[in-house]
Structure 1
Protein backbone atom coordinates (compact mmCIF):
# COMPACT_ATOMS: atom_id res chain seq x y z
CA UNK A 1 0.00 0.00 0.00
CA UNK A 2 2.74 2.61 0.77
CA UNK A 3 4.23 2.20 -2.70
CA UNK A 4 0.82 2.79 -4.24
CA UNK A 5 0.34 5.89 -2.07
CA UNK A 6 3.77 7.16 -3.09
CA UNK A 7 2.92 6.64 -6.74
CA UNK A 8 -0.53 8.18 -6.61
CA UNK A 9 0.19 11.02 -4.21
CA UNK A 10 3.90 11.57 -4.87
CA UNK A 11 4.50 11.98 -1.14
CA UNK A 12 7.72 13.64 0.04
CA UNK A 13 10.34 11.04 0.83
CA UNK A 14 8.73 8.50 -1.47
CA UNK A 15 10.73 7.07 -4.28
CA UNK A 16 8.93 5.87 -7.34
CA UNK A 17 12.15 5.47 -9.30
CA UNK A 18 13.37 1.96 -9.94
CA UNK A 19 16.97 3.15 -9.40
CA UNK A 20 18.00 2.73 -13.06
CA UNK A 21 21.60 3.63 -12.19
CA UNK A 22 21.82 0.54 -9.98
CA UNK A 23 19.89 -1.86 -12.19
CA UNK A 24 22.76 -3.10 -14.44
CA UNK A 25 25.05 -3.68 -11.46
CA UNK A 26 22.37 -5.39 -9.37
CA UNK A 27 21.33 -7.52 -12.34
CA UNK A 28 24.93 -8.74 -12.68
CA UNK A 29 25.16 -9.35 -8.93
CA UNK A 30 21.93 -11.33 -9.20
CA UNK A 31 23.29 -13.41 -12.07
CA UNK A 32 26.32 -14.26 -9.99
CA UNK A 33 24.11 -15.22 -7.06
CA UNK A 34 22.01 -17.40 -9.39
CA UNK A 35 25.14 -19.40 -10.17
CA UNK A 36 25.63 -20.06 -6.44
CA UNK A 37 22.82 -22.63 -6.66
CA UNK A 38 24.71 -24.69 -9.26
CA UNK A 39 27.97 -24.29 -7.35
CA UNK A 40 26.21 -25.57 -4.21
CA UNK A 41 24.88 -28.59 -6.15
CA UNK A 42 28.40 -29.36 -7.38
CA UNK A 43 29.83 -29.07 -3.89
CA UNK A 44 27.02 -31.18 -2.41
CA UNK A 45 27.40 -33.91 -5.05
CA UNK A 46 31.19 -34.00 -4.66
CA UNK A 47 31.25 -33.61 -0.87
CA UNK A 48 33.29 -30.41 -1.13
CA UNK A 49 33.35 -27.62 1.45
CA UNK A 50 31.75 -24.29 0.67
CA UNK A 51 34.95 -22.52 1.63
CA UNK A 52 37.52 -22.51 -1.18
CA UNK A 53 40.27 -20.15 0.05
CA UNK A 54 42.67 -20.82 -2.83
CA UNK A 55 39.99 -20.09 -5.46
CA UNK A 56 38.82 -17.00 -3.57
CA UNK A 57 42.39 -15.67 -3.41
CA UNK A 58 42.83 -16.35 -7.12
CA UNK A 59 39.66 -14.40 -7.95
CA UNK A 60 40.66 -11.47 -5.76
CA UNK A 61 44.15 -11.35 -7.30
CA UNK A 62 42.69 -11.28 -10.81
CA UNK A 63 40.26 -8.53 -9.77
CA UNK A 64 43.08 -6.50 -8.25
CA UNK A 65 45.02 -6.71 -11.51
CA UNK A 66 41.98 -5.99 -13.70
CA UNK A 67 40.75 -3.05 -11.62
CA UNK A 68 43.09 -0.63 -13.35
CA UNK A 69 41.62 -1.53 -16.76
CA UNK A 70 38.24 -0.34 -15.51
CA UNK A 71 39.53 2.83 -13.85
CA UNK A 72 38.85 1.44 -10.39
CA UNK A 73 41.10 1.60 -7.35
CA UNK A 74 42.31 -1.94 -6.67
CA UNK A 75 41.12 -1.73 -3.05
CA UNK A 76 37.60 -0.77 -4.14
CA UNK A 77 37.38 -3.58 -6.68
CA UNK A 78 38.75 -6.26 -4.36
CA UNK A 79 36.51 -5.17 -1.47
CA UNK A 80 33.49 -5.34 -3.79
CA UNK A 81 34.48 -8.81 -5.02
CA UNK A 82 35.18 -10.06 -1.51
CA UNK A 83 31.56 -9.11 -0.81
CA UNK A 84 30.43 -11.04 -3.91
CA UNK A 85 32.28 -14.13 -2.72
CA UNK A 86 30.81 -13.90 0.77
CA UNK A 87 27.31 -13.39 -0.67
CA UNK A 88 27.69 -16.50 -2.80
CA UNK A 89 28.77 -18.47 0.25
CA UNK A 90 25.63 -17.32 2.08
CA UNK A 91 23.54 -18.86 -0.72
CA UNK A 92 25.63 -22.04 -0.80
CA UNK A 93 25.52 -22.54 2.97
CA UNK A 94 21.78 -21.83 3.06
CA UNK A 95 20.99 -24.29 0.28
CA UNK A 96 23.24 -27.03 1.65
CA UNK A 97 21.64 -26.56 5.07
CA UNK A 98 18.17 -26.95 3.50
CA UNK A 99 19.22 -30.04 1.55
CA UNK A 100 20.85 -31.56 4.62
CA UNK A 101 17.65 -31.07 6.61
CA UNK A 102 15.70 -32.74 3.79
CA UNK A 103 18.29 -35.48 3.39
CA UNK A 104 18.83 -34.71 -0.30
CA UNK A 105 19.31 -31.90 -2.76
CA UNK A 106 16.57 -31.06 -5.24
CA UNK A 107 16.58 -33.17 -8.36
CA UNK A 108 18.21 -31.85 -11.49
CA UNK A 109 21.37 -32.24 -13.44
CA UNK A 110 24.58 -30.92 -11.94
CA UNK A 111 26.69 -28.46 -13.92
CA UNK A 112 30.45 -28.82 -14.15
CA UNK A 113 32.23 -26.36 -11.90
CA UNK A 114 35.49 -26.20 -13.84
CA UNK A 115 34.23 -26.16 -17.42
CA UNK A 116 30.85 -24.46 -17.14
CA UNK A 117 30.37 -22.51 -13.92
CA UNK A 118 33.78 -20.93 -13.38
CA UNK A 119 34.00 -19.59 -16.95
CA UNK A 120 30.57 -18.00 -16.46
CA UNK A 121 31.71 -16.53 -13.12
CA UNK A 122 34.82 -15.18 -14.85
CA UNK A 123 32.69 -13.52 -17.54
CA UNK A 124 30.50 -11.98 -14.87
CA UNK A 125 33.64 -10.65 -13.19
CA UNK A 126 34.23 -8.39 -16.20
CA UNK A 127 30.60 -7.30 -16.25
CA UNK A 128 30.62 -6.52 -12.55
CA UNK A 129 33.84 -4.50 -12.81
CA UNK A 130 32.44 -2.57 -15.77
CA UNK A 131 29.18 -1.78 -13.95
CA UNK A 132 30.99 -0.88 -10.73
CA UNK A 133 33.18 1.53 -12.67
CA UNK A 134 30.07 3.10 -14.24
CA UNK A 135 28.61 3.62 -10.79
CA UNK A 136 31.88 5.07 -9.51
CA UNK A 137 31.91 7.64 -12.32
CA UNK A 138 28.33 8.71 -11.57
CA UNK A 139 27.85 8.40 -7.79
CA UNK A 140 24.29 8.20 -6.52
CA UNK A 141 22.70 10.91 -4.45
CA UNK A 142 21.59 9.36 -1.16
CA UNK A 143 23.14 6.05 -2.13
CA UNK A 144 22.07 4.08 0.99
CA UNK A 145 18.39 4.92 0.46
CA UNK A 146 18.49 4.26 -3.26
CA UNK A 147 20.30 0.98 -2.71
CA UNK A 148 17.79 -0.13 -0.06
CA UNK A 149 14.91 0.65 -2.43
CA UNK A 150 16.60 -1.19 -5.30
CA UNK A 151 17.39 -4.24 -3.15
CA UNK A 152 13.78 -4.45 -2.06
CA UNK A 153 12.85 -4.84 -5.74
CA UNK A 154 15.51 -7.51 -6.43
CA UNK A 155 15.04 -9.88 -3.51
CA UNK A 156 12.65 -12.77 -4.06
CA UNK A 157 13.25 -14.75 -0.84
CA UNK A 158 14.96 -14.18 2.54
CA UNK A 159 18.12 -16.11 1.64
CA UNK A 160 18.58 -14.15 -1.58
CA UNK A 161 17.84 -10.87 0.19
CA UNK A 162 20.48 -11.61 2.82
CA UNK A 163 22.97 -12.46 0.08
CA UNK A 164 22.15 -9.26 -1.82
CA UNK A 165 22.69 -7.23 1.34
CA UNK A 166 26.10 -8.87 1.77
CA UNK A 167 26.99 -8.44 -1.91
CA UNK A 168 26.31 -4.70 -1.72
CA UNK A 169 27.53 -4.07 1.84
CA UNK A 170 30.22 -1.58 0.80
CA UNK A 171 28.67 -0.22 -2.37
CA UNK A 172 27.81 3.15 -0.82
CA UNK A 173 31.01 3.45 1.20
CA UNK A 174 33.11 6.38 0.01
CA UNK A 175 36.77 5.52 -0.46
Structure 2
Protein backbone atom coordinates (compact mmCIF):
# COMPACT_ATOMS: atom_id res chain seq x y z
CA UNK A 1 0.00 0.00 0.00
CA UNK A 2 1.47 3.34 -1.03
CA UNK A 3 -0.05 5.14 1.97
CA UNK A 4 1.68 2.88 4.50
CA UNK A 5 5.15 3.36 2.98
CA UNK A 6 5.00 7.13 3.57
CA UNK A 7 3.32 7.29 7.00
CA UNK A 8 4.28 5.87 10.38
CA UNK A 9 2.54 2.53 11.12
CA UNK A 10 0.40 3.93 13.96
CA UNK A 11 -0.94 6.75 11.78
CA UNK A 12 -1.57 4.32 8.91
CA UNK A 13 -3.56 2.08 11.24
CA UNK A 14 -5.59 5.04 12.54
CA UNK A 15 -6.37 6.28 9.01
CA UNK A 16 -7.35 2.82 7.84
CA UNK A 17 -9.71 2.48 10.82
CA UNK A 18 -11.19 5.90 10.17
CA UNK A 19 -11.81 5.09 6.52
CA UNK A 20 -13.43 1.79 7.48
CA UNK A 21 -15.71 3.55 9.97
CA UNK A 22 -16.65 6.19 7.40
CA UNK A 23 -17.54 3.54 4.86
CA UNK A 24 -19.60 1.67 7.43
CA UNK A 25 -21.39 4.83 8.64
CA UNK A 26 -22.37 5.77 5.11
CA UNK A 27 -23.93 2.36 4.49
CA UNK A 28 -27.67 2.80 4.23
CA UNK A 29 -29.89 -0.04 5.30
CA UNK A 30 -32.34 -1.11 2.62
CA UNK A 31 -35.96 -0.16 3.15
CA UNK A 32 -37.67 -3.13 4.80
CA UNK A 33 -40.35 -4.86 2.74
CA UNK A 34 -42.76 -4.49 5.66
CA UNK A 35 -42.94 -0.68 5.51
CA UNK A 36 -44.97 -0.15 2.33
CA UNK A 37 -47.83 -2.54 3.19
CA UNK A 38 -48.07 -0.96 6.65
CA UNK A 39 -48.30 2.53 5.18
CA UNK A 40 -50.85 1.45 2.56
CA UNK A 41 -53.07 0.02 5.32
CA UNK A 42 -52.68 3.15 7.45
CA UNK A 43 -53.57 5.27 4.43
CA UNK A 44 -56.58 3.11 3.56
CA UNK A 45 -57.84 3.41 7.13
CA UNK A 46 -57.29 7.15 6.97
CA UNK A 47 -59.21 7.53 3.71
CA UNK A 48 -62.25 5.96 5.35
CA UNK A 49 -62.40 9.14 7.45
CA UNK A 50 -64.06 10.82 4.46
CA UNK A 51 -66.97 8.37 4.67
CA UNK A 52 -67.16 8.69 8.46
CA UNK A 53 -67.30 12.48 8.09
CA UNK A 54 -70.20 12.18 5.65
CA UNK A 55 -72.17 9.99 8.04
CA UNK A 56 -71.51 12.42 10.91
CA UNK A 57 -72.46 15.38 8.72
CA UNK A 58 -75.77 13.72 7.89
CA UNK A 59 -76.53 12.53 11.43
CA UNK A 60 -75.26 15.60 13.25
CA UNK A 61 -73.36 13.33 15.64
CA UNK A 62 -70.13 14.68 17.13
CA UNK A 63 -66.82 13.57 15.70
CA UNK A 64 -65.52 12.72 19.15
CA UNK A 65 -66.83 9.28 20.19
CA UNK A 66 -65.00 8.51 23.43
CA UNK A 67 -66.79 5.23 24.10
CA UNK A 68 -66.03 3.84 20.62
CA UNK A 69 -62.41 5.01 20.81
CA UNK A 70 -61.93 3.28 24.17
CA UNK A 71 -63.42 0.09 22.73
CA UNK A 72 -61.12 0.17 19.68
CA UNK A 73 -58.02 0.81 21.80
CA UNK A 74 -58.97 -1.95 24.27
CA UNK A 75 -59.35 -4.32 21.32
CA UNK A 76 -55.86 -3.38 20.09
CA UNK A 77 -54.41 -4.09 23.54
CA UNK A 78 -56.08 -7.50 23.58
CA UNK A 79 -54.83 -8.34 20.08
CA UNK A 80 -51.25 -7.26 20.84
CA UNK A 81 -50.22 -10.43 22.67
CA UNK A 82 -51.05 -12.66 19.69
CA UNK A 83 -48.68 -10.57 17.58
CA UNK A 84 -45.96 -10.37 20.23
CA UNK A 85 -46.47 -6.62 20.55
CA UNK A 86 -46.31 -4.51 23.66
CA UNK A 87 -49.96 -3.68 24.50
CA UNK A 88 -49.04 -0.05 25.23
CA UNK A 89 -47.33 0.34 21.85
CA UNK A 90 -50.30 -1.25 20.06
CA UNK A 91 -52.64 1.11 21.92
CA UNK A 92 -50.48 4.12 20.99
CA UNK A 93 -50.46 3.09 17.33
CA UNK A 94 -54.24 2.75 17.21
CA UNK A 95 -54.76 5.97 19.19
CA UNK A 96 -52.64 7.76 16.57
CA UNK A 97 -54.84 6.31 13.82
CA UNK A 98 -57.96 7.51 15.61
CA UNK A 99 -56.53 11.02 16.10
CA UNK A 100 -55.48 11.20 12.44
CA UNK A 101 -58.92 10.03 11.35
CA UNK A 102 -60.57 12.73 13.47
CA UNK A 103 -58.23 15.33 11.99
CA UNK A 104 -59.60 14.51 8.54
CA UNK A 105 -63.19 14.52 9.79
CA UNK A 106 -62.82 17.91 11.47
CA UNK A 107 -61.14 19.35 8.38
CA UNK A 108 -63.76 18.06 5.94
CA UNK A 109 -66.72 19.07 8.05
CA UNK A 110 -65.24 22.57 8.45
CA UNK A 111 -64.94 22.81 4.64
CA UNK A 112 -68.50 21.61 4.17
CA UNK A 113 -69.83 24.06 6.73
CA UNK A 114 -68.06 26.89 4.93
CA UNK A 115 -69.66 25.74 1.66
CA UNK A 116 -72.95 25.01 3.44
CA UNK A 117 -73.07 21.56 1.84
CA UNK A 118 -71.31 18.21 1.78
CA UNK A 119 -70.41 16.33 -1.40
CA UNK A 120 -73.17 14.38 -3.04
CA UNK A 121 -71.59 10.96 -2.58
CA UNK A 122 -72.96 7.60 -1.41
CA UNK A 123 -73.07 7.27 2.36
CA UNK A 124 -72.21 3.80 3.64
CA UNK A 125 -73.75 2.85 6.96
CA UNK A 126 -71.37 3.69 9.83
CA UNK A 127 -72.33 0.75 12.03
CA UNK A 128 -72.96 -1.94 9.42
CA UNK A 129 -70.33 -1.10 6.78
CA UNK A 130 -67.67 1.35 7.92
CA UNK A 131 -66.89 0.09 11.41
CA UNK A 132 -66.55 -3.57 10.36
CA UNK A 133 -64.06 -2.45 7.68
CA UNK A 134 -62.14 -0.41 10.25
CA UNK A 135 -62.03 -3.48 12.51
CA UNK A 136 -60.63 -5.59 9.64
CA UNK A 137 -58.01 -2.95 8.93
CA UNK A 138 -57.05 -2.79 12.61
CA UNK A 139 -56.34 -6.52 12.60
CA UNK A 140 -54.22 -6.20 9.47
CA UNK A 141 -52.55 -3.02 10.72
CA UNK A 142 -51.40 -4.67 13.97
CA UNK A 143 -49.92 -7.63 12.09
CA UNK A 144 -48.09 -5.33 9.67
CA UNK A 145 -46.88 -3.21 12.59
CA UNK A 146 -45.50 -6.36 14.23
CA UNK A 147 -43.70 -7.20 10.98
CA UNK A 148 -42.19 -3.69 10.86
CA UNK A 149 -41.38 -3.43 14.60
CA UNK A 150 -37.75 -4.71 14.31
CA UNK A 151 -36.93 -1.74 12.04
CA UNK A 152 -38.42 1.04 14.18
CA UNK A 153 -35.07 1.91 15.80
CA UNK A 154 -33.02 1.81 12.60
CA UNK A 155 -31.37 5.22 12.09
CA UNK A 156 -32.68 5.24 8.51
CA UNK A 157 -36.30 4.74 9.59
CA UNK A 158 -37.31 8.43 9.43
CA UNK A 159 -35.89 8.73 5.91
CA UNK A 160 -37.63 5.58 4.71
CA UNK A 161 -40.86 6.80 6.23
CA UNK A 162 -40.61 10.28 4.72
CA UNK A 163 -40.03 8.98 1.21
CA UNK A 164 -42.67 6.24 1.36
CA UNK A 165 -45.25 8.51 2.97
CA UNK A 166 -44.77 11.24 0.34
CA UNK A 167 -45.99 8.88 -2.36
CA UNK A 168 -49.32 8.36 -0.59
CA UNK A 169 -50.36 11.95 0.11
CA UNK A 170 -53.38 13.05 -1.94
CA UNK A 171 -53.96 16.53 -0.48
CA UNK A 172 -52.81 18.75 2.35
CA UNK A 173 -55.44 17.64 4.87
CA UNK A 174 -54.87 13.94 4.31
CA UNK A 175 -51.11 14.55 4.21
CA UNK A 176 -51.15 16.14 7.66
CA UNK A 177 -53.30 13.30 8.94
CA UNK A 178 -50.95 10.70 7.45
CA UNK A 179 -48.03 12.40 9.18
CA UNK A 180 -49.98 12.21 12.46
CA UNK A 181 -50.90 8.56 11.88
CA UNK A 182 -47.26 7.58 11.28
CA UNK A 183 -45.60 10.02 13.66
CA UNK A 184 -44.36 7.37 16.10
CA UNK A 185 -43.52 4.55 13.71
CA UNK A 186 -39.83 5.35 14.01
CA UNK A 187 -38.14 5.53 17.39
CA UNK A 188 -35.40 8.14 17.52
CA UNK A 189 -32.24 7.24 19.39
CA UNK A 190 -32.52 8.75 22.84
What's the TM-score bracket when you normalise by the shorter of the two chains?
A: 0.7 to 0.9
**Residue-by-residue CA offset, 1:108-147 (whole Å, 9 max, x unaligned):** 2211000000000000010000000000134445111111
Give distance in 1, aligned partners of 2:112 and 2:35: 33
Give distance in 2, aligned partners of 1:164 and 1:174: 19
- 1:147 matched residue in structure 2: 161
- 2:80 matched residue in structure 1: 67
Q: CA deviation at 1:151?
A: 1.1
- 1:19, 1:150 within 8 Å by CA — same for their partners in 2? no
- 1:27 matched residue in structure 2: 40
Q: CA deviation at 1:155?
A: 0.7
> What is the number of residues matched between the two proteins?
161
- 2:146 matched residue in structure 1: 133
Q: CA deviation at 1:173?
A: 2.0
Give distance in 1, aligned partners of 2:55 and 2:66: 17
TM-score by length of 2: 0.80
Segments of structure 1 that go 5 or more residues without pairing to the other structure are: 1-12
Q: CA deviation at 1:18?
A: 7.5
- 2:32, 2:151 within 8 Å by CA — same for their partners in 1? no
Of 92, 104, 107, the match for 1:91: 104
Q: CA deviation at 1:150?
A: 1.1
Name which one, 1 or 2, has greater alpha-carbon Rg: 2
Segments of structure 2 that go 5 or more residues without pairing to the other structure are: 1-25
TM-score by length of 1: 0.86
Give distance in 2, aligned partners of 1:63 and 1:101: 36
Q: CA RMSD in A?
A: 2.0
- 2:181 matched residue in structure 1: 167
Of 115, 130, 152, the match for 1:117: 130
- 1:9 matched residue in structure 2: none
Q: SS where residue 154 of structure 1 aligns?
A: coil
- 2:155, 2:188 within 8 Å by CA — same for their partners in 1? no
- 2:14 matched residue in structure 1: none
Of 23, 47, 71, the match for 1:58: 71
- 1:70, 1:130 within 8 Å by CA — same for their partners in 2? yes
Q: SS where residue 106 of structure 1 aligns?
A: coil
